[in-house]
Structure 1
């Protein structure tokens, strides 16, 4: 059953849209999708990427492609072979059996057919719920499968960069974990937005987190969102920043 819709304050949504507008101007939206692969391949790729640098998970994904003829062959291979192939990513000893388990579950639910193409015709909320019922699949992975694959679904992934920027800007409470933040941040976006606009929103916030709003030593003085950011204003000692920071921590969603 789809989750009940969240009530987002008009002021918070207006702030989210202004942030999107500025960042899209800076990064020149609409942005090109960074790859085009089928949803099952995106599921494998996303599971490899957990707590792993993109460079390393990409190496692991390519190694699987080179070693095994297809995902069926990888599913049925000795787990030690899969673990060796994905050694570039973190925790290969955990990810290898988990990915094989997920692929076996997809096959079982598909009555022997291992495919996620059927999700193309499903409402996004139902597709995400189905994906998140698989072992080890959470909101970020379900959104990635729908958005990043050639399904091009209207789903908002939230990675660590996106989450950090949103928290510092006061779009979500500072104490909110990444998982629950997916629903809150997606609810801030207009219902009429299409998949490209939702994808752009993730990409520009993520890129801003990599380029400017970095974990260590964020470049607040050069930030085009500084006037909207209680965290940045507090770091720079701007007048009234303490009150803004307190308001952000108590911001209703």
Structure 2
């Protein structure tokens, strides 16, 4: 795919959704961090249902730490991998209190040092909470980038680096939200809805559908 096509795709996605954001519910960087940790291999809908109960009771590192692992599990047990996530979240809360005065650091290395936080989670927090032009590559973005030809790569790291290279600066802040939403609702995994896709004529996928 050439950069002229890429620019047209980005312009159309921006026109359709000028101010995209995450579908996770949050009101502070800490709430966002916890929600993103919980969202690994889980839907945003399931995470929002859990945090809707959790955050009114505990939405700070100290408050969640006070719940303890077992107390936290009661709020998140409907989410996949909740046992491991509870352990990581409690450890993360302790680390935030011990090293960062209870605040979420706007620093990649510090974020990735937190239990349960990898590069993708750090990218989401840096982008959505702090306005960094980072690009978090999840399964949706990986699929859309490869299927359309927009940014082809063999793994998520390769796709991230390609996106960082080919996406112009003015689009970097929002592009991962556009691609996630496009993958979630239009360019879905099993049978993409090409017939209702606003970038179908620019996409280089060879097996397009009429849906």
Q: Calculate the TM-score normalised by the size of structure 1.
A: 0.72
1:58 — aligned with what?
48
Gaps of 5+ in 2: none
The Cα of 1:99 is off from its aligned counterpart by: 0.8
Change over 3 Å in CA distance of 1:102–1:179 after alignment to 2: farther
Change over 3 Å in CA distance of 1:208–1:187 after alignment to 2: same
Q: More deviation in 45-54 or 75-84?
A: 75-84
Change over 3 Å in CA distance of 1:32–1:160 after alignment to 2: closer
Change over 3 Å in CA distance of 1:93–1:33 after alignment to 2: closer
2:109 — aligned with what?
129
The Cα of 1:135 is off from its aligned counterpart by: 2.5
**Aligned pair partner of 1:29 in 7, 10, 18:** 18
1:167 and 2:146 correspond:
yes
Quick one: distance in 1 between partners of 2:109 and 2:2? 27
Deviations 1:105-137 (A, max 9, x none): 222222xx1112x52xxxxxxx22331232321
1:152 and 2:131 correspond:
yes
Quick one: distance in 1 between partners of 2:208 and 2:60? 51
Gaps of 5+ in 1: 1-10, 120-126, 237-253
Q: Provide the aligned C-alpha RMSD in A.
A: 2.5
Change over 3 Å in CA distance of 1:212–1:73 after alignment to 2: closer
Deviations 1:149-194 (A, max 9, x none): 2x222222233222211110123335x2234422321232223x2x
Q: Is the 8 A contact 1:147 1:199 kept in 2?
A: yes
Change over 3 Å in CA distance of 1:13–1:139 after alignment to 2: farther
Higher Rg: 1
1:18 — aligned with what?
8
Q: Is the 8 A contact 1:139 1:182 kept in 2?
A: no
1:107 and 2:97 correspond:
yes
Q: Calculate the TM-score normalised by the size of structure 2.
A: 0.84
Q: State the secondary structure of the residue aligned to 1:215.
A: coil
Report which structure shows greater RCO (CA 8 Å, sep ≥6).
1
